[in-house]
């Protein structure tokens, strides 16, 4: 594997492993993260490990017009029990994504270093959040980065059933994104209309 130096450049896409790893090491500086996302690369690693940078051969994405809303989900939306906000509680959203108990085991990959890095990006206007409230309680949400009219989703959480879905549907329906990047295959998002495309197709959309 190729280890990054102090420069922010990444190796060529041809060096990506079968698992989608393009490089190791480096840091989570604002400059490096923005450069990475502009080139379809994102960090994903565990506490205590070196930073691992991914650029999968297949990319899970949602074209917003393809969003699927079930009858049961539409009923939840029609009931108007929840309040939806944007960028009102970014730090709380990423904290919940980091700490919430998940049956699939995901969530613990958000290290303290990563949490602070994305808070910094949010303060600079790059990272965004959607919040779902039940009264005054934050019960669901998601966060990610905006890159070239593409929303690069990072993580989502639900304390009440379907609230992460509600945030995702709001994102697809209420923002003028060309694409929502879901990064890697997820059955939950597939049911909402997301699908895998080739990396080359994703990068072409990203660059355009």
- pLDDT the model gives residue 107: 45
Q: Which CATH class is domain 13-57?
A: alpha beta
Share of residues in the chain with pLDDT > 70 (%): 97
pLDDT-wise least confident of 47-51, 103-107, 155-159, 169-173:
103-107
**Residue 201 in this model has a pLDDT that exceeds 50:** yes
Q: Where in the chain is the domain with CATH 3.30.70.3550?
A: 13-57
Of 51, 44, 56, residue with least CA distance to 26? 51
**Residue with the two structure tokens 């990396």:** 199
Rounded Cα gap, residues 7 and 138, in angstroms: 39
- Mean of pLDDT over the chain: 94
In which order are the strands placed within the sheet that holds 52-54? 21-24, 52-54, 42-43
pLDDT value at position 176? 83
pLDDT in tens, 127-179: 999 999 999 999 999 999 999 899 999 999 999 999 999 999 999 998 789 99
pLDDT above 60: residue 126: yes
- The pLDDT tens digits for 4-45 are 988 899 999 999 999 999 999 999 999 999 999 999 999 999
> What CATH fold (topology level) applies to the domain 60-207?
Aminopeptidase (3.40.630)
Q: pLDDT at position 102, please?
A: 65
Q: Bigger pLDDT: 32 or 105?
A: 32
The confidence score (pLDDT) of residue 104 equals: 54
Share of the chain above pLDDT 90, in %: 88
Q: For residue 208, what pLDDT band results from cuts at 50, 70 and 90?
A: confident
Q: Find out whether 180 and 64 touch, Cβ atoms under 8 Å.
A: yes
Question: What pLDDT does residue 47 have?
Answer: 87
List, by residue range, all CATH 3.40.630.70 domains of the chain.
60-207
**Which of 129, 186, 119, 124 shows the shortest CA–CA distance to 152?**
129
**pLDDT of residue 105 exceeding 70:** no
Is the pLDDT at 106 greater than 70? The verdict is: no
Residue 172 to residue 167: CA distance in whole angstroms:
9
């Amino acid at each position: 594997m190729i280890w990054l130096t102090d420069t922010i450049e990444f190796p060529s896409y041809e060096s990506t492993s079968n698992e989608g790893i393009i490089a190791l090491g480096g840091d989570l500086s604002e400059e490096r993260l923005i450069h990475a996302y502009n080139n379809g690369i994102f960090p994903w690693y565990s506490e205590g490990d070196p930073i691992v940078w991914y650029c999968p051969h297949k990319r899970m994405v949602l074209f917003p017009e393809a969003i699927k809303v079930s009858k049961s989900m539409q009923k939840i939306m029609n009931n108007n029990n929840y309040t939806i906000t944007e960028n009102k509680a970014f730090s709380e959203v990423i904290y919940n994504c980091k700490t919430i108990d998940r049956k699939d085991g995901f969530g613990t990959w958000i290290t303290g270093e990563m949490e602070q890095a994305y808070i910094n990006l949010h303060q600079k206007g790059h990272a965004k959040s959607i919040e779902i409230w039940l009264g005054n309680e934050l019960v669901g949400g998601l966060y990610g980065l905006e890159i070239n009219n593409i929303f690069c989703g990072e993580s989502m959480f639900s304390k009440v059933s379907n609230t992460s879905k509600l945030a995702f549907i709001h994102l697809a329906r209420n923002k003028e994104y060309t694409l929502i990047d879901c990064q890697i295959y997820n059955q939950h998002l597939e049911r909402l209309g997301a699908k895998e495309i080739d990396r080359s197709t994703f990068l072409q959309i990203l660059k355009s």
